[in-house]
Structures are given as C-alpha cells and as structure tokens.
Chain A
Amino acid sequence: MTKPRLKKTVLTAVALVALGAGTAAAVLARSGRDVTTTSAEAYELYQKGLEDERRMYHKDALAAYAKALELDPHFSMATLRLAGNLAGRDRERARSLVQCVSRNPGNLNEREKLFLAVFEAELIAKDQKKSGELIREYVRRFPDDPEGYFRLAGVLMREGKTEEMLATYERLLSLDPNQATAYNSLGYHYIGRRDFVKGEDYLKRYRFLAPDQANPYDSLGELYANTGRYAEAEEHLTRALQIRPDFFPAVGHLGTVEIGRGNPEAAAGYFRRAAEMSESWKEKLAFVGAAASALLDAGRPDDALAVLDEAAAAPPTSSPKDGFYFRYHLIRSRAVVLALAGRSAEAETELELLPAVPADLEAKEKEGLQKSLLGPRAAIAGARGDLEGAVRTLRELLVEDKESDVGSFPYYPGTFRARVRLADALVALGRPDEAREELRPVLAINPRFAPALAVVARIEGRAADAEGSAGR
C-alpha cells in the first residue's frame, strides 16, 4: 500500500471510529440514568414507583419507593418521591424525609439537586413562590423531562394562569404525544370549564394510551356519572375495578352514579365500601361524609350519624392539624345530618362542639372553614321553618362555591344536592320559577340527576294542580 493511500485509509478509519464513538457516547448519555443510586435493583424499583404514580396506584408507588430505599438507603430521589407521595396523608413524615435528604445530599447530580430544592421549598419552607421559580428553572434546564411540565402545569394552575397551563401541556404533548397523564389533566381541566366534549375527548385519548390502567376508566366513569350517562359510567367504573379491584375511587364513583339515579341507599353502600378501601384520612373522611349524606337522602339519619360516629372513633394521628380538620368536618357533617333530620337544636349544639381554629392556620384556610359552616346553618334555618333564611344561606353558599380548575366532581354531588334543597325551599315558598332557575345549572350538567328531576316533577305537578284548580 502506497504512503498516501495508507494515510488516507488511516484518516478515514480514525474519522469513522470518532464518528462511531461520538454516536455511541451520545446514545449512552441519553440512555443513562438520571438519578443517583448504587443499586440497579433499587433503580428498577424507583422506575416502578414512577410508573405506579403515573397510573395513580399510589399505594404501590409508596411500596416501591420504600423497597428501593431498603436496598439503597441513600437513594435521594426515591426518598423525595416517597415524601411527595406521603405529603397528602402524612405531611410531617414527608417533611422529615426531605430534611433527611437535605442534611445528607450525597453525590447528587444537577437534576437531583434542583428536585431537592423544589421539595424543600414546598414541604419545608412552604414557599410556593420559590417552588414555582425552581420548577420553571427545572423546565428551562431540562426541557426534555416531562415531569417538569407536569409540575409547571400544577404551579400555573395554582397561580390561576389557566392559558399558560394549557400551553404547557401542549408543549409537553408536542414533545411526546404519548404522555398519558397529560391527557388526564387536560380532560379534567376542560371538565372544570364545563366543556365536557373536550374533556371526554382528552379522557378518551388517555384511555386509548393506558387501557391497562384503572384510572382512565375511572376518569371517564366519573365524567359519565356526573353527566347522567350512567350506563357508560357503570361500564367504565366496573372495567376499572376489573383492572384494579382495590381502586376505591371507582367504587366511590359508582356511588355517585347511584345518587344520580336516585338510589341513595345503594350509593351509601358504595361510599362506605370506598371509605373502607381508601388509604388516607382525607379520602376516608370524604367517603364517610358522602355515605352519611346518602343515608340521610335515603331517610336514614340515624344510620348516617352512626357512620359518622364510627369514623370519629379512628381519628388521624399524623399531626394535630390533621386531627383538627378531621374532627371539624365530622362535627359539621353531624350538624347537617341533625338539622336535615329536623333536630335543629341538636344541630346547633353540635356546632358548638366545633374545635377552636388553630391560630397558625392561614387566613385562606380559616375562611374556608367559615364558609363550610354555611351548609349546616342553612339546614338549621330550614329545620326551624325559616325557609327564607335557608334560601338566603344556601344562595350564599352556592355563590361562593367556586368552580375548580381541576374539574373533578365530589363523590357525593353536594353542590347539586344544595341546589335541589334550595329549589325545594323555593317551591315551598311558592316560587317555582326561581326554583326552576336554581335547578337549571344542575340539569345543564346532568340532565338525568334524579333528585333535581323529582323537584322539577313536583314543580310541574303543582303547576298542573294550580292550572287544574283554576280550571275548576
């Protein structure tokens, strides 16, 4: 081989090797782990935890993170994820986990450090503004990470920047159109805007992408349950439970279906079952409240009180604040049940048992607690025969009932029920037209909401009677 040819061959070989090495390095860098751990098994469990979170299987996610930490106690990201999942049910424990990571950050990479800072701002400093800034920085620095967009969307929702939130989701989906949970969020957002068509569109996309998960069916089932498409709701919720029998939200939404159908007794059964299955005191409290309301609707106030009393026997122990909230809401529910059962004096007595609001609560929280008392007060007024007072209080309650951007419906459709009671009061006061107007928003969302339809029937019947009397 001549000298120039040899030179050319060597140069070509070097160029090819460099090209290959560069490509391989790029591929490896892309596929490399984005978290720091010494255990491959822990990493796998961590990934499983993330997937469980995406699937809304929080219990499984907690277990996976916990197991990962057993294998690698210094696995910071698993610790933070665990904290994030515990925050809703045991805030103190979540905080201590974050502090633990803060004290021993170890050899964290830039992404992990930023993640830690976000958790510190949210759980330790409780500085939402700082948390928002950090998340924005996270998105800037790691634009390929979908989680950044999810968190940013949460921040924007919290800040009330709805359009920016939507743009964030759009950007995320342009990066990866297969981010299933983004469709779930968008679906709920549009449901919150009462654009059920669009909401259903996104939830169906969610179902298409994650047909093996219970949540997409539950989400669609919830929508259908609250919009009067009971058969479809039942089908979807049943499917969710087939996929994941312990998926308690689906059980709760089956209760919603029964409420809508006018079967409060059956609904109470679902709510009680959901309460048994639920994992946090907040969820349990919600289902217990729903079960009590359903039993009350079924004309079983004593059973309703019994359910509440039963729940009161097992208060949360995670923190005094949680205990306060738990007790406050149980007493309030008891007051409502007692008032609606005609026992207004007992109801008032019950309200006097409400615990004192802790001084360290934020003003917004305090305001929320105050407004939550409008329901029992309206019920007490009605029980005393002060229908005008009841109407006034209910209207105050309903005016203040701000629609959530998240758009999820409560298991027990309390707002619908409140409007039905308001309409009832107005009918009793001989103001059927006002009653119709009050029911209009309910029937616009769920034209097959049985309690509302019953009031409408009563209104129509009375009108017919009036016409008949006039005729006679």
Chain B
Amino acid sequence: MTHAPPAARRRAIVLFGALGALIALMSVADMFLPKAWDGVVPDPYAEGAIHVRAVVPGGPAAAAGIRSGDTLLGIGRRMLNSPAEAASELGRHAAKETVPYLVKRGEQVLELQLVLSPYRLGSAAYVYYALLGALFFGLGLFVYSGARGMPRRRSSSSSASSSCSSSSAGSALRATTGSTISSRWPALSPSFSSARSSSTSSSSSRTGRSSASPTRVPGEEAPAAPLVLIQRFLNGSPALFVLLYTLPPAFYALQMAALRRTGDRSGLVYGAPRANWILLADYLVLGLLALAHSWWTAREKTTRRPILVLLLGTLGGIVPFVLFAVYFPSLFRDERYLAWGVVPMALVPLTFAFAIVRFRLFDVQLIVGKSIVYAILTAIVTGLYALAVVAGNAIVSSRTLFSSPLFAFAFGLAVVLLFDPLRRRMQAIVDRVFFRDRADFQAAFLDMSRQVVAQLDRGKMQQLLTERTADLLRLTRLDLLTPRPEDGALSDPRRGEEALPVGAALGRMLADRDAPIVLRDLDPASLDPASRSFLKTQLGRGVRLLVPVATRGRLLGVLAAGAKKSEEEFHREDLDHLATIANQGALGLEVAALHEQLTRRAEVERDLEIARDIQMSLFPRELPKIAGIELYGVSIPAKVVGGDFYDFLPVDGGFDGRVALVVGDVSGKSIPASLLMVAAKEIVYARAMQDPEPSTVFRESNRRIYEIKRRMFVSLGYFLYDPVELTLHYSVGGQPSPLVVRGGEVTEIPHPVSRLPLGALKDTTYDAMTFWLRRGDLLLFYTDGLNEAMSVESAFFGDERLKASLVRHSAAPLPEMAEEILEDIRQFTFGAEQSDDATFVLMRVTGAKPAATGVV
C-alpha cells in the first residue's frame, strides 16, 4: 500500500516550498546588501541605558570620537533606553548618512555626528548557514520525492522488547501499535528505512527482527536508480548523520579559535559569540527536522497526532523566539518585540505537557528514570571535568589550556563518545534500584512468554496465555477466539457465543493489521452485518480490545481483552504488551498445532502397526503339510497394511483332504484395502466351507462383496487342490493366471473365460477349470503387485522377467526361490517405492500320481 501524498497536499507543499525558497533567496540577498553600521558594540546586559562596551577600530563611532564606557542617550534625534531601540533607530538610517548621537561621558553630554558605514551582515558564517540549509532542503526534497513512490514505513525498532534497560531515551516516545516513533535521526526518510511489505513488516516487527535491505511492495513503482543509490548510501551510512551533527560544533570550534586568534569581538551577536547562536540554531533545526521526520514516518494516526502536536507546539514556540527574541534583536537591534518571542516559548513545555496528558505520550516512570540517570550522569561528567581541570593544573601547571573553550569542546566530545556506554550502565543500575516492580513485571512477562511458547498442549497454552496475561495486566477478562474446525469462524470454544464468520470485514481488518483494535474506535457503520453483530456481542461481554494473533499473515486467533480492573484506560504500554503477547501466542499456537499433528501421526502409525500385526496373523502361521505338494507363501504390503492375502482352506475338514488355495488382492491399499481383505477372506472362507466348488464360491462371494462396498473390488484366485486326483480345480477373477514350470518351460495356467474381479458386478457367473498336476511341476500364484512392480523409470517388472526369474530359480527350495525372486524384483525396482502390495504362493508338486493334462 502506498501512501503518496494527495494531490492537494502536494500542491500545498510545493506552494509553501516555493514561498519558502523565495523568502530564503530574498533573505540571502538581504544579508549581503549593505546596511547602515555605526561600529558601536553595546553592552547587551545593561538595563535602561546603552553602555558602549567597545567601538570597532576604524568604524564610524571611533571616527566620531565615541569611546568605550560612553553611554548612548540618543541616536538620530530619538532618545533611547536599550540596545534594541538603538538598533531599531539605526535601521531607519542609510549607510553614508550623517546621524547625530547624543552621548554621555562622565558628567558631560556630547552630541556627535556619525557618518554611518555600509556593512554587510552576510559572512562566512552565513554562507555556512545557507549551505547547511540547502543541504537540508535537498534532503527534504529527496524525502518528499522518495515518499511519493514508496510506502510509508514504520520504524523497524520493535516494542516487543520493552525492558527498561534496553529502551533508549527516544523510546520514551511510544506508539500504540507496536510500531514505535522513530526517535533517531538515522532513518531520515521513509525511503531510507528498511522497506517491507505489510506482511513482512508485521512479521518482522513481531519477532523483533528488522530487515536491512529494502523490499519493494509488489506493484509499486520502482524508484529511480539514483534514488536507490542514495537510499543505499544513507542506509549504509549512518555516519552521514553523525557528520551532520558534528558539523556545527566543528564550525563552532573553528570560529572560536579564529576569534581568539584575531581578538575580534565584533563576532558578538546580541551578547553571545555568534558561534553559540549557530550551534543553537543548527541543533534547533536538526531537532525540528527529526521531529518532522518522525511525524512523517509514523504510520498510525494515533502516533502521528501527538507528534504533530509536539511539532506544531515546538514550532509555535521556537519560531517566534528565533524571530523576535534572536533575529530582530541581533540583526535589527530591535527588542521591542522581545516579549512576543519569549512568551510563546511557553508553548513548548505546554505542548509537551498536553501531549503527555492527552496522548499519554510519555511514560512518566520512564521519564523519572531517565531524569535520575541523566542527573547522575551530569554529576559524574561535572565531577570528571573538575577532576580533569584540577589534575591538569597540577600536572601542566598552566591554566591556559583549561581556560580555553577548545578544552571544553574537546572534553565535550569525549563525553559524547563515552556517554552512551555510561548511560547504559547507569540505566541498568537505576532500573534495578528504582524500578523493581517494573523489572519484576518484565521478568514475569518474559517468563510467561517463554512458557507460552514452550507449552505443547494447546489447551493449557491457551489457558496460560489468557489467564496469566489477564492476571499480569490486571484485565477483567481475556479470551482467545480461535477458528472453528468446521467453518473457520472465530469463536471461543468454551462458549457457544456468536462467532465471526470467515470473510467478515472485522476478520479481514484483524488479519490485515498487527495492532490491537480498540472496539469503541470502530465505526459500526463501516462494518458488515456479521461483524456488527459480533462487535455488539463482544461489547456486551465487556470486551474492549481485539488483538489479532497472527503469524506470517495468517490469522490464528484473536485475543478478546476486557477492561482493566483498575478501570483505567489502556496505556500504550498495555497495548504493546498485548501485541507482544499476541505475537507469543501465535508462536505458541503454531507449536501446539505442530505438536498435535505429530502426536496424531504417531498414533496412526501405532494403530497401523497393530493392524499389520492383526493382518499378518490372518496369513497362515505355518505352511500346512499337504500330501503331494510343497507350499510357500509371501505377502509384502506396499503400506503398513495391505489388501493382498493368501490362505489355504481345508475344505474337507483337514489338510489330508482337498485344500483350497486362495490368493486375493483387494483394490486400493492400506487400511481400507486391508479391512476389505479381511472381510473378503472371511466371505470366501465361509462360502468355501459350505460349498468348495470354485464357481459357486466366486458367485456367492461376488454378491456379498458387492454389497459390502461398491467400487472396491477383490481379485481372487481360488484353486481347489485335490490330492487324490492331483488336480487344481479353479476360478480366477481379476488376477493374472498362475505360472507353471514344467520340464524347464514356463507357461500360464489356462484362464477361465469369466475373469471379472469380485464385487465388480452384482450378479455375474464365474466358470471353473481343472488343471492336472504332474510331479515336478512348479506353480506360482501371484497378485499383480509382483509383475507390475515398478522401477524408478516407471517400467513394470513384467511377466517375462517374472517367468525368467521363476525358471532361473526353479531348482531352489521354495523359501530360497521366493527370496531369489524377490531379490530380482528388488534389483529391478531399486530406488523406487513399492507401488502395490505383492503376494505370491509357490507350489511344488511332489505327488506320484500321473495325470493327463487338460481342462474340464
């Protein structure tokens, strides 16, 4: 979302800018136009009279005979009482004009004629001023032009970390929403600070991280290359701002040194060295710009308002002061309007007081803490200074060095360098000593935050989050509304109250912002009916704030906070805490959800293991000893449980009679398939026990399976082995025909005509065939998971490879043979996941009765 200034505002800014530039140009020109000058340096502190402190050598006053110590009674036929009146009178005359001065010298009153000289106020100092002004003008222009194409950003400094010790002096200015007012100069413009999309911003601010590299919002116009370069330079060069702040004192030092060397006292402007005024004005301008910048970059309306009030109040106080109390008296020597400049200065403290009271802008405790810190620091610095002077005098035995303003300046610079580390240490001590309650609160808060994130039980975590937070912040209530599983509507699961449906305006609002919403600030008219209804319900419950619990732009829930037990309004600090708690809650909810997912998966896996065991128990535990044949069966499910099965059914009551060999494959895999497999197996077993005739078993089983589950099929091979006849009477539905190796040749057993899998059609008939076995025959009954095993290239193992493998290993005992066949398949499918259950039964005919091969 871009925040380009509206067209009207742009026009107004351009208009004011042009006006300001015109005034600046005229001012510059005026400074270099000759003005009338008398060469008198009045004593600015004399009251009711104008005492001549000095006359500039060679100046008009010196030429006319005015001396130091004289008293000016009047200039230009006007009696005067103050230097400002003198300046005002002088301003009425032109250069080269002869003006009478009434001077009192001792008891004498003299009337002297001065020929006023032309004098240009503009000097090197003024050029410096102008250049500095131009620099700031350029930066301002850049800020303005940069802001047009870029989003207005929030400060990257987070309010999540709100401990006393870590907060800087500037953090006394806090925003309501987790975004803090930019209190330091380095983030000069919106373009200079790290740019983030709203979701990124939200995430970063909540986790206390900030991105250093600009990220443009999608769809935004890309800034021009030079702007990007400047951005990068400024982002990477906080030294520039250090330089800006260092320039004025450096200039001050230079000028003071120059004044001392030349002994020129005409650099005095209204009593103080001009350098003092320069220093004052520079920092004044820098401070105002910093304030203006904070206002410009603050995102929230609630944040911008107090800053604007402060800015306007400061401007309203300082501008008249500079104009009437400094500019007029200094340059026009007219202090008639002094009160007009001094009185409005009261606006500055008044505005701050107003801002503190009205916007709860400052944390009074913090201010008190800071005051203590700075008072102690001042005492330490003063002590150090005195110590340095005393020690210096003792060592150097010269007072020249220490009486020099340069010494004070150098000492001041040293203090500036040491100030911050010293301040941090002092701050920690003061916090510990003076703000134990606050520190305890912070500790409890951090502990609770840690517990919330560490708690894996969602319910307990929610309880911890709501109950402990309500306790810490002394809230009448705090509920966590979470999305309902069935429809995603936000509701309190403990109460059956009205929920906020997905897509409601209020929900979108909560998802879009990462700051608490004060319900009474909402305009119900701007909401949809569902949101309005929800809002009414919440207000009825005593809820005052809704705090979004979101992570990565996803709304996980909403904290609904009631009023404070103390009935106080919510402070910014409370809102910050709630935003931080919501942040922690979001993390906790995510962790809990992840934990629940893992637990569920483990349970499923455990159940699957049990199911596998159960399924495995359904397979023959021991291979039955059947006259005339050897058997070996293998079933490998693709999942933990599978849909394949095989069994041997003694249809005549024992394995010395007829035995039905059943190989089945249920469509699908895993649990559903395994369940159907069990059912199918039981159906087939029951039918076979009643009537082992294959066609009958197929027909009856088909009907039953069809009824159990439609669109799930069971491919089945039913082979009724007759040890007497040494035959296999069989039906096959949906399965590959078994392979038989006889005399080194491998062939498929003939397949009945009807080969539909069971359950495909409700009423269908199956025919049966008989295969006469011979001694030495090796038969392989298998499901399609064997020949359709897939390689990584998605190629089937295939019938031919299966046949070849069978032939190749046909001489081996059945268990080894089975292993070898599986090994061949494994080699083929190496690296690929098993795609289907694979089941096969090997039968070797060992009986002696010869029989003719044929199909019945």
Contact = CB atoms under 8 A, between A and B. Distances in A.
Contacts of B104: 201
A274 B74 CA distance: 34
Interface string B64-98: 00000000011001111100000000000000000
B79 A205 contact: yes
Interface string A163-184: 0000000000100011000000
Interface string B95-135: 00000101010010101000000000000000000000000
Contacts of B74: 205, 208-209
Dominant secondary structure of chain B at its interface with chain A: strand
A261 to B, nearest CB: 25
Contact of B79 (A177, A197, A201, A207): A177
B109 A204 contact: yes
Interface residues of A, number: 12
A208 B73 contact: yes
B78 A205 contact: no
B77 A209 contact: yes
Nearest to A201: B109
A236 to B, nearest CB: 12
A180 to B, nearest CB: 9
Dominant secondary structure of chain A at its interface with chain B: helix
A205 B77 contact: no
Interface residues of B, number: 13
A205 B72 CA distance: 11
A258 interface: no
B107 A204 contact: no
Contacts of B79: 173, 177-178, 205, 208-209
Given A204-B102, A208-B100, A208-B102, A197 B107 contact: yes
A200 interface: yes
B109 A200 contact: yes
Contacts of A173: 79
Contacts of B100: 208, 211
Nearest to B79: A177
Contacts of B102: 204-205, 208
B111 A208 contact: yes
Given A177-B80, A178-B79, A205 B73 contact: yes
Given A208-B73, A208-B102, A178 B78 contact: yes
B106 to A, nearest CB: 10
Contacts of A177: 79-81
Given A200-B109, A204-B102, A205-B102, A211 B81 contact: no
B77 A204 contact: no
A208 B74 CA distance: 8
A205 B75 CA distance: 11
A197 B107 CA distance: 7
B111 A204 contact: yes
Interface string B44-81: 00000000000000000000000000000110011111
Contacts of B111: 204, 207-208
A201 B109 CA distance: 6
Nearest to A204: B109
A173 B79 CA distance: 10
B334 to A, nearest CB: 16
Nearest to B76: A208
B77 A208 contact: yes
Nearest to B80: A177
A298 B109 CA distance: 38
Residue of A178, A201, A208, A209 with most partner-chain B CB within 10 A:
A208
Interface string B796-821: 00000000000000000000000000
Contacts of A205: 73-74, 79, 102, 109
A209 B78 CA distance: 6
A3 to B, nearest CB: 14
Nearest to B104: A201
A178 B111 CA distance: 16
A177 B86 CA distance: 13
Contacts of B81: 177
B86 to A, nearest CB: 12
A204 B74 CA distance: 11
A209 B104 CA distance: 15
A211 B109 contact: no
A173 B49 CA distance: 13
A81 B350 CA distance: 54
Nearest to B101: A208
Contacts of B80: 177
A173 B74 CA distance: 13
A173 B78 CA distance: 12
B9 to A, nearest CB: 13
Contacts of A208: 73-74, 77, 79, 100, 102, 111
15 contacts: A173-B79, A178-B78, A197-B107, A200-B109, A201-B107, A204-B102, A204-B109, A205-B73, A207-B111, A208-B74, A208-B79, A208-B111, A209-B77, A209-B78, A209-B79
- Which 3 pairs across A and B sit closest by C-beta, in order of nearness? A177-B79, A204-B109, A208-B102
Given A205-B73, A205-B102, 16 more contacts: A173-B79, A177-B81, A178-B78, A178-B79, A201-B104, A201-B109, A204-B102, A205-B109, A207-B111, A208-B74, A208-B79, A208-B111, A209-B77, A209-B78, A209-B79, A211-B100
